[in-house]
Every structure is written in structure tokens, then in C-alpha cells.
Copies of this chain bind each other. A is one copy, B any other.
Amino acid sequence: MADQLPDLIEEVVASDDLLEDTNIANTIAATDAENIALLLESIPLEARLISWQQVPNAKKLDVLVEMRGDPRTTVIESTPLEEWENIFQNVDAEQLLEISDTLPNKLLDIALAAMGKQQRQFFQDASEYKDDQIGHWLNHDVLVLPINAKVRDGLRLLRRELPETTECIFLLNRTGQFSSAVKLSSLFGAPEHLPLVELSEEDITVVKAEQDAVQAAREVQNSGFISLPVVDDANKLLGRVDIVTASELVNEDYERQIMSSAGMDEDEDLFSSVRTSARKRAIWLGINLMTAFMASWFIGLFEATLQEVVALAVLMPVVASMGGIAGSQTLTLIVRGLALGQITKSNQKALLDKEVKVGLLNGFIWAFVVGFIAYLWFDSSLLGMVIGIAILLNIVSAALTGVVLPVILSKLKIDPALSGSVILTTVTDIVGFVAFLGLGSIFLI
């Protein structure tokens, strides 16, 4: 299916009269929800809204669930109020939770009204956890039996239609507390009167509902199980987190990291309107402008020097950028380590030690190279020395900043993937300019 996505995008964008094109409408109707979602995200707004109308009503909810936040909002806003009752006909708690942050209150009410009592309860339970807690993302479709159940009871349970991604029966004690898990596959061939508890898996991890969502999702991915049980503080079984949801959470977290390095978020729309796009990005440009002016202000302190030794103006971007690059390498490594839970107090010291040494080694090498080139270019050994020392200082302080900054930011609950690189480049710009121009003022005038 994914193979055909580019072709479908081509066809839709190239179509002269999308509104009347029954050929495309039929293709869309035959495509699965995930690929319809990718299609809608990939086409300009006008074509998107027409194509959205051509999605069969029965698939619309699944498509909404699969779409990223911003493009989803555009199709939600274009859908007439009277259609929603139809769209929400079979909505369940998990689907509603996926899209609720982009849903106006009016539509949320329609969805809640369409739900059965139990699903509504699930929705409310989940809403009590924040969306970065795993309790927000539970699958409530679980197979449970009392702890004294026998293989016979298990086999009877399996005769009804099984929920997707189900691999275990969870055994609960009288008060609903999770006791253990039995793989469905252990039931085959087992004697009918055997207590299920004797077939329990020994090493299944139990997840707490208030645990960090991404961390819990990674645990599912690494567990070897298809889903893990989730309990509340009192060990009461609330549901499970399955590997499909887990993968979505982990993928979203990676996309957030990638997008936030450019000051955007994972919901960003390829084809948002020009105004929305410009407004969202303006904030990041504005923050960056402030830091750029800060760097300029430091350069301004050396106006007199620059006037006398114009070679400093020519070479100063080299100093700043070498620091920026070296720092971003350290920063990227540490941010990944933080995301994987690998950075602690004591290994941070060891890391700082190692990164500063790497900075010293690379600093000396590049100080020499850049110094030599500058000497050849401007025929001044003093200039070569000045830029060499500035490069060395900047690369070493970049290494220091690259280790310390993300750790501090994450302690302050500020996302280091988002703000780390702006702050780092501000530091390396300023250190670079001040070191280079400052040394220049001393030795070259």
C-alpha cells in the first residue's frame, strides 16, 4: 500500500477537477486509514478538504486518529456539524483520547454522547492522567480471570472474539489487583483442571499508570511481550499498553525531538496556510534574532579593533562556527543519552572529562590548521596565533556547554532538544567573537 502512496498523491494534486473525479474517490475509498492520513497530510489545503469529503464516513474516524495534529485540525474545521454524529457512531475511548486535543468542546460533547457508559468511564479515567503519563494511553480491552481460574475457564474465554494484540490473560485477585499473566499459547495442551496460575509468566513487567508515557512505551518495545499490564497506585489493573500504541508513542517522541531542533513540533503541517505557518515559525525566528543581536552587541564592543584589522571581520565567522559544530556534536550525544535514561550524576562527570579531552585534542588540531591557513592568507603569524587560540578556547568551551547545558535544562523540565541548540550557539558565538576579537585587540593593534 505504501508503495502506491506517491502515485496517489501525484494523481490527486494533478487532477483538474478533483470534486468530480470518481476514479480518485474510488481509490481513496479502497485505501487504508493510515495511508489516507498520509495522503491528506501531503496535499495542499484545498485538495485536502475535497479528498476528505471523498473518504467513506465509516473510515473518517480512523483517518482522524492517524493524522498529525495540525493537518487534522484543518479537516475537522471543514467538516459540517451534522456529519459528526455519523462519524462518532462507534467511537471508543482510545480513539477519542487520540484526537481530543484538536477537538472543539462542542464536538467532544457529541462524541461523548455517542459513547456507551463504559467507554465514557474509560475516557474520564484516562483524562485524569496527563498525556505524558502512560495512564492516558491505555487499551481497556483486556482478558481477565480470577486468580483461582482453571485452564478450562481460560479456554472458554478464548471462544469469544479476542481483542487485537492480545497475548495474555491477566489474573486478578478479589479486589481487582493484578496478580499474574498467562500466555494464551500456554493453554494449548495443558490439562483442563490445572489452575491457570501455575502457567504464569515469571518475568512480565507491571507498568504504573503514572509512569512517563515514552519510558513505559520503550519498556513494552523491549519486553518481548505484545502488551504489558498497567496498574494504579493500589496495584488495581486499569488496562494494558500494547506494542502498537507503544510504537506510536515512541515514534512521536522521536519526531518531536527532530522537529524541535528547528523550533517546530511534531504536529506541524506540510501544507498549513501561509499565515499560520509564518506565525508559528516567527516565534523561533524572533528568539534567534535576540540571540543574534546579543552576539552582535559583543562584536560592537570591538568596533575600533575591527576598523584597524579588517581580517578579523573576515575570519570571525570561522571561529564561531567551529565552536557551534563541535558543541552541537556533544549536545546531540548527551540529549540522546538523556532520552534513553543513560545520564546520571556520576557518569556526567566522566562524560564531561571525556568530552573536554576530545575538545582539547580537536581544539589543538583545528587551532593549528586554521591558524596556519590564516597566516598564509593574511601573511601574519600573529593573526594565525590569535585565531588558533580563539578556536581552541571556543571548541573546549563548546564541549563543556554541550555536556552541562542539556543536563541543567532537563532538570529545569525544559526540553533540551528544543532550546539546547539555540542556547549553545549563543554561547559559542559569544565566546568565539569575544575570544577572537579580544585577543586581536591585545596582540594585533
Once A38-B340, A325-B288, A354-B44 are accepted as A-B contacts, the answer to whether A296 and B270 lie under 8 Å apart by CB is no
- In the complex the two chains form, is B347's CB within 8 Å of A262's CB? no
Partner of A285, one of B158, B159, B322: B322
Q: What residues of B have a CB within 8 angstroms of the CB of A221 in the complex?
A: 244, 247-248, 251
Q: What residues of B have a CB within 8 angstroms of the CB of A347 in the complex?
A: 9-10, 13, 42-44, 270
Q: Which of A211-261 contact B (CB under 8 A)?
A: 215, 218-219, 221-222, 224, 226, 243-244, 246-248, 250-251, 254-255, 257-259, 261
Quote the shortest CB–CB distance from A79 to chain B (angstroms): 22
Q: What residues of B have a CB within 8 angstroms of the CB of A365 in the complex?
A: 278, 282
Interface residues, chain A, CB within 8 Å of chain B?
Answer: 1-2, 5-6, 9-10, 13-14, 32, 34, 38, 41-44, 155, 158-159, 161-162, 164-166, 184-185, 188-189, 203, 205, 215, 218-219, 221-222, 224, 226, 243-244, 246-248, 250-251, 254-255, 257-259, 261-264, 268, 270-271, 274-275, 277-278, 281-282, 284-285, 288-289, 292-293, 295-296, 299-300, 303, 306-307, 310-311, 313-318, 320-322, 325-326, 328-329, 331-333, 336-337, 340-347, 350-351, 354, 357-358, 361-362, 365-366, 369-370, 373, 429, 433
17 extra A-B contacts, CB within 8 A, seeds A13-B344, A285-B322, A288-B322: A10-B344, A13-B347, A44-B347, A44-B350, A44-B354, A221-B248, A243-B244, A243-B247, A258-B261, A264-B333, A277-B358, A281-B326, A284-B325, A284-B329, A289-B318, A296-B317, A303-B311
